[in-house]
Amino acid sequence: MRTAAFVVLAVLAVAAGITIFTVNSMARATVALAVSFVAVGAAILLIDAPYLGVITILMMLMEMGIMAVFMIMYMMNPGGLMPMSMMHNKRGAVAISVGVFLLLAAGAVFAPWPQRRGEPPADPTRALGQALMGSKMLVMMIVSAVLFATIVSALVLATGRGRYDRDTPAALTDGQQS
């Protein structure tokens, strides 16, 4: 059952990754990227690495949220639904992608894998968290909340009148100005 779920998530991650380059809008590409990363995070959860899986999912969803905020702030079409192409230099991109894939696959197949030494810790999630963050976990949690508040504040300050309250000739009557 677990193997089947892993295979389904792996196929979903790859399919969503391919979808990023086949859709014709930034909004759809952002959603496809989020789906791909959530599938990867769920696959990591299945291999008994809950800390990494949850962190991957949370980080990628936050990253996609930030991407959406910047799309709203800076794009002429905030919904990102106008047709566009995510591919530039298609032949070069395919050649580089195939080359990098073959190089990585060769490394995975032909590299000498290390032998296990010792026993795994009783709580691998805690051991991994300590190895990655040490005693700085609380600091990083606070910093992430502060960064999120900063992003939201910047967005609120950048849109003084809001997205839909614009000065248009039809809105100005009898010489009124805003």
pLDDT tens across 122-141, in order?
888 778 777 877 777 778 77
**pTM over 0.75, yes/no:** no
pLDDT tens across 149-163, in order?
888 888 777 766 655
Reading the block at residue 68, the tokens are: 């959406």
SS3 9: helix
Q: For residue 69, give the nearest of 153, 7, 1 by alpha carbon.
A: 153
Q: For residue 128, give the nearest of 16, 51, 22 by alpha carbon.
A: 51
Query: For the chain, first and last CA: distance in Å?
Result: 63
Q: For residue 48, give the nearest of 128, 124, 130, 133 by alpha carbon.
A: 124
Q: Mean pLDDT over residues 71-98, rounded?
A: 73
CB atoms within 10 A of CB 40: 21
pLDDT tens across 29-46, in order?
888 999 999 999 999 999
Q: Mean pLDDT over residues 140-148, rounded?
A: 83
In which band, very low, low, confident or very high, does the pLDDT at 77 lie, cut at 50, 70 and 90? low
pLDDT tens across 8-30, in order?
999 999 999 999 888 877 778 88
CA 178: distance to chain centroid? 39
Q: For residue 72, give the nearest of 149, 132, 155, 1 by alpha carbon.
A: 155
Reading the block at residue 150, the tokens are: 């900063």
Place of tokens 């990867």: 40
Q: How many CA atoms lie within 13 A of 128 on its CB side?
A: 12
